[in-house]
Amino acid sequence: MALFMAPWLIGFLVFIAYPMLATLYYSFTKYNLLTDPIWVGTFNYRFMWHDQLFWLAIRNTLWLVVFLVPIQVLFSISAAVVLTRPKRGASVYRTIFFLPSMVPIVAAALGFAFLLNPAGPIDHILGLLHLPRPLWFEDPQWAKPGLLLLGLWGVGQIMIIFLAALLDVPAQLYEAAELEGAGPWQRFRSVTLPMISPVIFFSLVIGVIDGFQYFTEAYITAGGRDHVGEPQGSTLMYGVRLYQEGFQNLHLGYAAAMAWVLFLLIMLCTAVLIRTSDRWVHYQGGFR
Amino acid sequence: MKRSLIGIAAIALVAAACTGGNSNQGPVQTVNPSASHAPVTLKVWGFYTEHELANFTEVVQTFEDKYPWITVDMVPGKQFGDIVRGINAGTPIDASVDVGPDNVAKLCASGGWQDLTSYMQADNVDFDATFPASVKSYTNYEGKQCALPMLTDAFGLYYNKDLLADAGYTDPPTTLEELAEMAKALTTYNADGSIKVLGFNPLSNFYENPNMYVGNAWGATWYNDDGSSAFGTDPAWKQAFLWDKDLADAIGYDKLVQFKSDVGGDNSEWNEQHAFQVGRLALLYDGEWRTGYDPEAMAKLNFGTAPFPMADDKTDLYGSGLIGGTVVGIPSTAEHPSEAWLFVKELTTNADFLSTLANKLYNVPTTIETLADPTLAADDHFKTFLDIAANSNSRFRPLTTLGTGDADLEAAFLVKWEAGKIANLQQGLTDLATQIDREMQLG
For B300-324, how does the pLDDT look when each residue is reduced to its tens digit (9 = 90+)?
999 999 999 999 999 999 999 999 9
- Closest CA of chain A from B261, distance in Å: 6
Which one of B11, B84, B441 has the shortest CB-CB distance to A21?
B11
Q: In this predicted model, what pLDDT tens digit does every residue of B22-72 receive, in sequence order?
A: 444 556 778 877 777 889 999 999 999 988 899 999 999 999 999 999 999
Q: In this predicted model, what pLDDT tens digit does every residue of B172-207 receive, in sequence order?
A: 999 999 999 999 999 999 999 999 999 999 999 999
Chain A residue nearest residue B431, CA to CA? A52
Cβ <8 Å between B22 and A35: yes
Where does the pLDDT of residue A286 fall: very low under 50, low under 70, confident under 90, or very high at 90 and above? low
**Chain A CB contacts of B405 below 8 Å:** 249
Cβ <8 Å between B442 and A228: no
CA distances B342 to B71, B120, B349, B371, Å, are: 12, 10, 10, 22
Which one of B81, B412, B441 has the shortest CB-CB distance to A47?
B441
Tell me the mean pLDDT in the region A129-138.
Answer: 89
Where does the pLDDT of residue B16 fall: very low under 50, low under 70, confident under 90, or very high at 90 and above? very low
Q: Where are the alpha helices (DSSP H) in B157-204?
A: 161-166, 176-186
ipTM of the assembly? Answer: 0.84
- Whether the pLDDT of residue A220 is over 80: the answer is yes
**Residue (of B102, B105, B47, B82) closest to B407 by Cα position:** B102
Q: Which of residues 9-38 of B touch A (CB under 8 A)?
A: 11-12, 14-16, 18-22
Cβ <8 Å between A17 and B11: yes
Exposed, middle or buried: residue B345 (CB in 10 Å: 0-12, 13-18, 19+)?
buried
Which one of B84, B264, B408 has the shortest CB-CB distance to A34?
B84
Chain B residue nearest residue A231, CA to CA? B415
Q: What are phi and psi of B5, to 5 degrees?
A: -65, -40
**Chain B CB contacts of A254 below 8 Å:** 442
The domains found in chain A, sorted by start residue, are 40-280 (1.10.3720.10)
Widest pairwise Cα distance in chain B:
85
Tell me the mean pLDDT in the region A67-88.
Answer: 91
pLDDT at residue A287, rounded to an integer = 54
Q: What are phi and psi of B67, to 5 degrees?
A: -125, 80
pLDDT at residue B19, rounded to an integer = 44
Tell me the mean pLDDT in the region B97-122.
Answer: 94
**Chain B CB contacts of A230 below 8 Å:** 205, 415
Cβ <8 Å between B265 and A118: yes
Q: What are phi and psi of B20, to 5 degrees?
A: -80, 170
Higher pLDDT, A232 or A118: A232
Specify the 3-state DSSP secondary structure of A133: coil
Which one of A25, A228, A253 has the shortest CB-CB distance to B12?
A25
Specify the 3-state DSSP secondary structure of B62: helix
Cβ <8 Å between B87 and A33: yes
- Whether the pLDDT of residue A226 is over 90: the answer is no
pLDDT at residue B22, rounded to an integer = 43
Q: DSSP states of A39-81 as a string? A: E-TTHHHHHHHH-HHHHHHHHHHHHHHHHHHHHHHHHHHHHHH
Specify the 3-state DSSP secondary structure of B149: strand
Cβ <8 Å between B260 and A138: yes
**CB-CB contact of A84 with A76 (8 Å):** no
Widest pairwise Cα distance in chain A:
74
Which one of B111, B261, B441 has the shortest CB-CB distance to A138?
B261
Is the Cβ of A201 closer than 8 Å to some Cβ of chain B? Answer: no
pTM above threshold 0.80: yes
Omega before A231 cis (within 30°)?
yes
pLDDT at residue B369, rounded to an integer = 93
Q: What stretch of H or E contains B207?
A: none
Tell me the mean pLDDT in the region B118-137.
Answer: 93
Cβ <8 Å between A35 and B264: no
- Closest CA of chain B from A19, distance in Å: 9
If one counts every other C-beta atom within 10 angstroms of the C-beta of residue A90, the result is: 13
Cβ <8 Å between A36 and B19: yes
Tell me the mean pLDDT in the region A257-266.
Answer: 97
Is the Cβ of B440 closer than 8 Å to some Cβ of chain A? Answer: no
**Which of B201, B261, B273, B441 to probe the A interface (max A CBs under 10 A)?**
B261
- Whether the pLDDT of residue A48 is over 70: the answer is yes
Q: Which of residues 189-208 of B touch A (CB under 8 A)?
A: 205
**Chain A CB contacts of B112 below 8 Å:** 34
Q: In this predicted model, what pLDDT tens digit does every residue of A208-219 receive, in sequence order?
A: 999 999 999 999
Fold of the domain spanning B37-153+323-390: D-Maltodextrin-Binding Protein; domain 2 (3.40.190)
Is the Cβ of A129 closer than 8 Å to some Cβ of chain B? Answer: no
Fold of the domain spanning B154-321+400-440: D-Maltodextrin-Binding Protein; domain 2 (3.40.190)
**Whole-number Å distance between alpha carbons of B311 and B318:** 9
Is the Cβ of B420 closer than 8 Å to some Cβ of chain A? Answer: no
**CB-CB contact of B147 with B211 (8 Å):** no
Is the Cβ of A111 closer than 8 Å to some Cβ of chain B? Answer: no
- Closest CA of chain A from B306, distance in Å: 27
Round the average pLDDT of chain B to a whole number and report it.
91
**Residue (of A29, B140, B75) closest to B83 by Cα position:** B75
Where does the pLDDT of residue B406 fall: very low under 50, low under 70, confident under 90, or very high at 90 and above? very high
pLDDT at residue B7, rounded to an integer = 47
Same fold for the pair B37-153+323-390 and B154-321+400-440: yes
Q: What stretch of H or E contains B261?
A: helix B253-262
Q: What are phi and psi of B157, to 5 degrees?
A: -110, 130
- Whether the pLDDT of residue B10 is over 60: the answer is no
Domain spans of chain B? 37-153+323-390, 154-321+400-440
Q: Which residues of B182-201 are buried (b: 16+ CB within 10 A; e: fewer)?
A: bbeebbeeeeeeebebbbbb
- The type of residue at B293 is Y
**Whole-number Å distance between alpha carbons of A194 and A56:** 37
**Whole-number Å distance between alpha carbons of A259 and A26:** 11
**CA pseudo-torsion sign B41, B42, B46, B48:** negative
**Whole-number Å distance between alpha carbons of A148 and B256:** 26
**Whole-number Å distance between alpha carbons of A51 and B386:** 42
**Residue (of B305, B334, B194) closest to B259 by Cα position:** B194
- Closest CA of chain B from A58, distance in Å: 17
CA distances B234 to A150, B230, B240, B433, Å, are: 44, 6, 11, 11
Tell me the mean pLDDT in the region B209-236.
Answer: 96
**Chain B CB contacts of A248 below 8 Å:** 81, 403-404
